[in-house]
Structure 1
Amino acid sequence: MRTLHVGLRVADPDRAVAFYTAVGYEVVGRVPETPAGQLTMLKLPDDDVVSVELVFDPSAAHRDRGTGLSHLVIQVESMDATIADLRTKGIEVAEPESPDGSADFLTTWITDPDGNRIELVQWPAGHPDGLTAADWS
């Protein structure tokens, strides 16, 4: 088994797509009508598959869309370059911090227009893509 993608409820699909494409996601496809609502499939340039699905249900406009999601995590190659790029696009980015005090392992946070929190991570050189059991040994 493996995680296929994360579905995020959004209040305005156009606003959400504008935000996520500014972050660097690409629209892979759209499904206009499903029982869950309108779906927009996104992936990052280095991904082969969809990793985020934006879900817009116009009949559920009154509901809290962020319920149940803590955050999603995106790996970046260069924290400095990513922060500079996002800020030029008007996206607020928190100052990066290092969980272990090193200069090459950095994390920071952004928030999408619907209040979903996104953690940006720059792994140290040689670290595998993603977390492994070695991170807790």
Structure 2
Amino acid sequence: MRLLHTMIRVGDLQKSIDFYTQILGMKLLRTSENPEYKYTLAFVGYADESEQAVIELTYNWGVSSYDLGNAYGHIALGVDDVAETCTQIKAQGGKVTREAGPVKGGTTIIAFVEDPDGYKIELIQSENIGKGLGNS
């Protein structure tokens, strides 16, 4: 088995596509519309779906916002330099909700940003990926 994609519902498809492609540097891989059931899908990612997991942005026509609830956590992205990535995201109008710094109780450098719908995205310093979030 292989993880294929994570789906999130968005209130403004173009705004979300712009965030994931222009601010986070993903590629728009494909889109599809279903007029009968009134929804549009856009798949974004850093590589083709045949190579790695991607994000499916689902826009249900006429729905501009969702209650995110309290069960959803976040999407995590590995980056070379968390602090510099936060600076770039803010310069492009993105929202940083936790500045770069060590994870509570550990040494791994992380930060959090939000997409236009309020979904949390964790940035993790690449050198720590696969080592857990502690002092390893």
2:90 is equivalent to residue 87 of structure 1: yes
Task: Please report how far the alpha carbon of residue 49 of structure 1 lies from its aligned counterpart in structure 2 after TM superposition.
Answer: 3.5
Alignment match, 1:10: 10
Q: Aligned Cα RMSD in Å?
A: 3.1
> Which whole-Å deviations, capped at 9, do the CAs of 1:71-93 have from their partners, x for residues lacking one?
11111111132112111101122
**More strand per residue:** 2
Within 5 Å, give how 1:120-135 maps onto structure 2.
120-124=123-127, 127=128, 129-130=129-130
Alignment match, 1:57: 60
Instruction: Percent identity, please.
Output: 25
Question: Please, which of 100, 103, 113 is the counterpart of residue 96 of structure 1?
Answer: 100
Cα gap change, 1:116 to 1:49, in 2 (>3 Å): same
Distance 1:43 1:84 in 2: 21
Q: What TM-score, normalized to structure 2?
A: 0.78
2:46 is equivalent to residue 44 of structure 1: yes
Between Structure 1 and Structure 2, how many residues are aligned?
Answer: 130
Which ranges in structure 1 are unaligned for 5 or more consecutive residues? none
Distance 1:24 1:82 in 2: 11
> Which whole-Å deviations, capped at 9, do the CAs of 1:1-58 have from their partners, x for residues lacking one?
2321110100010111111111111101101117582110111259834510100011
